[in-house]
Each structure stands twice: as structure tokens, then as C-alpha cells.
Amino acid sequence: MNSTPHKQERLILLCLAGIQFTHILDFMIMMPLGPQLIRVLHINTHEFGLLLSSYTFTAAASGLLAATYVDRFDRRKLLLALYVLFIVATLCCGLAPNYATLLLARALAGAFGGILGAMVQTMIADVVPFERRGQAMGTVMAAFSASTVAGVPLGLYLAEHLPRLGWRAPFFFIVLVSCLILYLGYRYLPPLTAHLGRGRPGNVFQRIYAVAREPEHLKAFFFIALLMMNFSVIPYIALYYTTTVGMTDSFITLVYLVGGGATLLTSRVIGKLADRHGKLPVFRWIAVLSFVPILVTTHLVPVPWWLVLINSTVFFILVPGRMIPGMAMVSAVAPVQVRGTFMSLGSSVQMLASGTASLVAGLIITRNAAGQIEHFNVVGYLAVGCGLVALWMAGRLKTPVAAPGEQDRPRG
């Protein structure tokens, strides 16, 4: 499409942020539901970790499959079709009668929902010039904040106050919201077809292999994997707070409410800073600062609730905040004609890494006779170690440098 007027660009970003909101909420809601699912379904921490990783592993597989077709269709039609399938899979999660069925439904939700994030980031890169892409990524990444400040607390509230539905209620809530966003996306998202008709040699598998083996792309995939290793910590925070730090289930709702509210304010700020001062420098500063709340979180002992809340809020701001400049850099690595394939493969790497991280953490941490979590500090060291390597890799990514005051370029 031609250069997008700012008003239309904002409307497109709003629709994409809505899609991002629901599929992130669908993934995130499992984490604070952990204590309730373990209690109601009579499962252990390893089985809970499998519930989390089943989503991410099937999302990784679907990303590889999507790489065979994602650059062959209008991005709008493909995004909306995948979104419909995601809604159906999430409905199946809410209707699941037992652990085995829920595990299967989560795998289906991952298969369809996991690729949505890559599609959203691909469409942003197609529509928004690199010099403004940090702010655009910040807008859409604010969907993470919205899911934590509104979606997760409301989902937990419904789970606690609708006893006949219990843990199922959040999934039905996600389905209702998704149907509304589906309508908005159908009405306002424009066709994106400029990547079509740009012939590339070889069959589809040869083209995917060519994208996957490109050295610059491999660097980006490794960088994405390192960023996602923080998922060795995130899924078990609610469980650690309630079993070891002494917090209540209702306090977890407060953690997500305050942390999400803070990041809702800071996501766009981080994006603007990345556009103004450079994606790489801003990423490095935020990444280094994020090590503090990661280490504090994984070493917490029973302390006053307000100290826990301060740390968790800083965690919410900095740890996901790294993704804003980080993914802005990644989105610029591949040219437009292979960007969908590249981002689909990147989505597979992202989901595979996060699933592996949560699964490895589930094997590291144990529960003692009193039900408390042990060895969570080891998981924190693992996350920080990967973060240090990510700092080094960030400087090796090949990304364009926008000239100061550069105007919007016509974009295909």
C-alpha cells in the first residue's frame, strides 16, 4: 500500500493491538491461574509447566508451517482467518472437562494463536517506516500492558466470583472480546499485498531454507531465543508469591493490575525513546536494568506486601520493555518480500524458546513438604545469564539507521 496517513495508521495499529491483546491474554491467563488449576485439577508443577509449554511448542510448529504460505497471501485475509481459528480453540479451552482435554485445547490455541504475534509484527513493519517503528511497536506492545492491567485481573475476578465456571470463566471472556475485535479488524484493516508478485527462485521449501540460513537472520533468531528465556521466571511468579513469599491469591490480581497499569504508561515512552535515541542503546539500558527485578523476584523471602508490589511493578516495566526496541530491531533485519516468512520463523523460535524455558524451569524448581517453591533462584541466574548474551548479540544485528528528520517513505 502507499504511504499510510497518520490517522489511518493509528486505526490500523489499534486493530492490531486488539488482536495482540487477546492472544497475549490467552497465553498469560494461564500463569496466574496456576494455583487454582493445580488445586482444582489435582496436578503438580511439572504438569502445569506442560500446560504452558504445550501452547508454546505447538505455536513454534505452526510458525514453521506458516513459513510455507505466509508470504503467498494478502496479510489481512490470513490474519483474520487465523484469528477465527484462535477464537474457536480458546472456546474449547473453556469447555474442556479435564486436564487431558485442556492440554489438547491449549495446544490448539497455541497452533493458531502463536502465529498471530508474528503476523501483527509483520504488518507493522509493512505499514510503519523504521524511524517510527519503535513507537508503533510500543503501541502494540501496550497490549501486553492492557492484558495485565485489565484482562488478567478481570479474568481472575471472574474465576473467583463465578464459582460455577471457575477457571473456565477467563477463556469465555477472551472469546467474547475477540469476537468484537474480529469485527473491527474485518472492517478497518486494509489489504496488504505489496509483497506478492515478487518472484523468488526455487520451491517453497528452498525459499524457506534460504531465509532460515541467511547469517543475519540466524543472528536475529538467536537474539529472539535469548530474550524469551525470561519465561523461565514469569510463569512461576504467581505460584512462588503464594506458596513461598506468603501472598494471597487476591494479591496476585493486584500485582497484575498495578504492573499492567505502569507498563501501559511506559510502553509508548520506551518506544519513543527508542526512535529518538536509537533502538540499540535503549535496549541495552533497559536490559541491564531488568536484571535487578529478575534477581530480586527469584530470591524473595516473606517481606511486606508493598515491597513485593514495588519490585513486581518494576519487573513488569523493564522485562517486557526490552522487547519493544528489541523487536523493532528484529523487524528490520529481513527485506519486505521475505518478511512474513522471516517473522513466522522468528515466531517459532520465540515460542520454542519460551516453551523450553518454562519447561526447564519446571524441572529445576521443586516443592518441599510445606508446599514452598525451592531452587527458584537458579532459574533467575539462568534468565540473567541469557540476558547478558542477548546484550552482546544485539550489537551484531544488522538494522537500518534512519536519518534525523527522515520523512515517511512510500511503502509497499
65-101 per-position pLDDT tens digit = 776 666 677 778 888 988 999 999 999 998 988 889 9
The three-state secondary structure class of 125 is helix
- Using an 8 Å Cβ cutoff, are 287 and 96 in contact? no
CA torsion angle for 174, 263, 254, 386 (degrees, to 10)?
Answer: 90
Q: Taking the CA atoms of the chain, what radius of gyration do you get in angstroms?
A: 20
Task: Tell me what pLDDT residue 58 has.
Answer: 85
Q: Which pLDDT tens digit goes with each residue over 329-367? A: 887 787 777 777 787 788 778 878 887 887 788 888 887
Task: Tell me what pLDDT residue 402 has.
Answer: 45
Task: Tell me what pLDDT residue 127 has.
Answer: 74
Angle at CA of residue 98, ends 93 and 101, nearest 5°: 55
Task: Tell me what pLDDT residue 5 has.
Answer: 57
Question: Quick one: how many helices (H) and strands (E) in the chain?
Answer: 17, 2
Confidence of residue 135 (pLDDT cuts 50, 70, 90): low
What is the Cα 188 distance to its own chain's centre?
A: 23
Which of 10-24, 41-55, 191-205 is predicted least confidently? 191-205
- Is residue 171 over pLDDT 60? yes
Rounded CA-CA distance 257/149 in Å is: 4
Listed in sequence order, the residues at least 6 apart from 37 whose beta carbon sits closer than 8 Å to its beta carbon are 30, 43, 48, 51, 167
Rounded CA-CA distance 412/410 in Å is: 7
**Which of 245, 265, 394 shows the shortest CA–CA distance to 306?**
245
Q: Where are the domains of the chain?
A: 6-188+204-394
- Using an 8 Å Cβ cutoff, are 411 and 8 in contact? no
Listed in sequence order, the residues at least 6 apart from 410 whose beta carbon sits closer than 8 Å to its beta carbon are 2, 3
**For residues 181-190, average pLDDT:** 86
Task: Tell me what pLDDT residue 288 has.
Answer: 94
Sequence length of the chain is: 412
- Is residue 294 over pLDDT 90? yes
Rounded CA-CA distance 233/91 in Å is: 28
Confidence of residue 163 (pLDDT cuts 50, 70, 90): confident
The three-state secondary structure class of 374 is strand
Listed in sequence order, the residues at least 6 apart from 263 whose beta carbon sits closer than 8 Å to its beta carbon are 142, 144, 145, 148, 149, 316, 317, 320, 321
Confidence of residue 314 (pLDDT cuts 50, 70, 90): very high
**What are the residue ranges of helices labelled H in 67-98?**
75-95
| DSSP assignment letter at 366 | E
**Which of 151, 186, 157, 145 shows the shortest CA–CA distance to 26?**
151
Average pLDDT of the chain, as a whole number = 80
Which of 137-151, 171-185, 207-221, 259-273 is predicted least confidently? 137-151
Torsional sign, CA 394, 400, 406, 411: negative
Which of 101-110, 113-122, 322-331, 360-369 is predicted least confidently? 113-122
**For residues 228-257, average pLDDT:** 82
Cα dist from 345 to 65, 91, 157, 216, 297, whole Å: 9, 27, 36, 13, 31
Which of 112-116, 155-159, 164-168 is predicted least confidently? 155-159
- Is residue 286 over pLDDT 90? yes
| DSSP assignment letter at 194 | T
Looking at domain 6-188+204-394, its CATH class is mainly alpha
CA torsion angle for 254, 140, 279, 281 (degrees, to 10)?
Answer: 0
Cα dist from 95 to 53, 56, 74, whole Å: 20, 20, 33
Q: Which residue has the higher pLDDT, 197 or 48?
A: 48
Do β-strands 366-367 and 373-374 pair in parallel, antiparallel, or remain unpaired? Answer: antiparallel
Query: Structure pTM?
Result: 0.69
Task: Tell me what pLDDT residue 284 has.
Answer: 92
N-term to C-term CA, the chain: 5
Confidence of residue 106 (pLDDT cuts 50, 70, 90): very high
- Is residue 381 over pLDDT 90? yes
- Is residue 28 over pLDDT 80? no
Rounded CA-CA distance 59/118 in Å is: 11
- Is residue 50 over pLDDT 90? no
Tell me the angle at which helices 323-331 and 99-127 cross, rounded to the nearest 10 degrees.
60
Rounded CA-CA distance 171/163 in Å is: 14
Report residue 257 as a C-alpha cell: 493490575
